[in-house]
Amino acid sequence: MAGVSLKCGDCGTLLKSVEEAQEHAELTSHSNFAESTEAVLNLVCTTCSKPCRSKTESDLHTKRTGHTEFVDKTLETVKPISLEAPKVAMEIDDNASGSGEAAEEMVVPDVDNNILEELEAMGFPKARATRALHYSGNASLEAAVNWVVEHENDPDVDEMPKVPANSNVGPAKPALTPEEVKLKAQELRERARKKKEEEEKRMEREREKERIRIGKELLEAKRMEEVNERKRLMFLRKAEKEEEKRAREKIRQKLEEDKAERRRKLGLPPEDPATAAAKPSVPVAEEKKISLPIRPATKTEQMRECLRSLKQTHKEDDAKVKRAFQTLLTYMGNVAKNPDEEKFRKIRLTNQTFQERVGSLRGGIEFMELCGFEKIEGGEFLFLPRDKIDSAIINSAGTELNSAINNPFFGVL
Contact 130, 109 (CB under 8 A): yes
Specify the pLDDT at position 290: 47
Q: Which of 40, 64, 85 is the last residue of a domain?
A: 85
Specify if 323 maps to a domain: yes
Q: What angle do CA 158, 159, 160 make, to 5 degrees?
A: 120
Specify if 306 maps to a domain: yes
Specify if 122 maps to a domain: no
Q: Which domain holds residue 16?
A: 1-85
Specify if 382 maps to a domain: yes
Specify if 24 maps to a domain: yes
Specify if 113 maps to a domain: no
Q: Which of 66, 85, 104 is the last residue of a domain?
A: 85
Specify if 360 maps to a domain: yes
Q: Which of 47, 67, 85 is the last residue of a domain?
A: 85
- Give the burial class of 291: count Cβ atoms within 10 A of its Cβ; 0-12 exposed, 13-18 middle, 19 or more buried: exposed
What CATH number did the domain enclosing 346 receive? 1.20.58.2190
Q: How far is CA 173 from the centre of its chain?
A: 55
Per-residue pLDDT of the chain (413 residues; tens, 9 = 90+): 556 777 888 887 887 777 887 887 877 777 777 878 887 888 888 888 888 878 888 888 888 888 888 888 887 777 777 665 554 434 434 444 444 444 567 888 888 888 888 888 888 888 888 988 888 887 788 888 888 888 888 888 888 888 877 655 444 445 556 777 778 778 888 888 898 999 999 999 999 999 999 999 999 999 999 999 999 999 999 999 999 999 999 999 999 888 888 888 877 777 665 554 555 454 544 444 444 444 445 888 888 888 888 888 888 888 888 899 899 999 999 999 998 888 888 898 889 889 888 888 888 888 888 898 998 888 889 898 988 888 888 898 899 888 888 887 776 65
Give the chain's domain count.
2
Specify the pLDDT at position 151: 84
H-helix or E-strand spanning residue 7: strand 5-8
Specify the pLDDT at position 315: 81
β-pairing, 51-52 vs 43-45, is antiparallel
Specify the pLDDT at position 139: 78
Specify if 254 maps to a domain: no
Q: How far is CA 237 from CA 241, 326, 395, in A?
A: 6, 20, 18
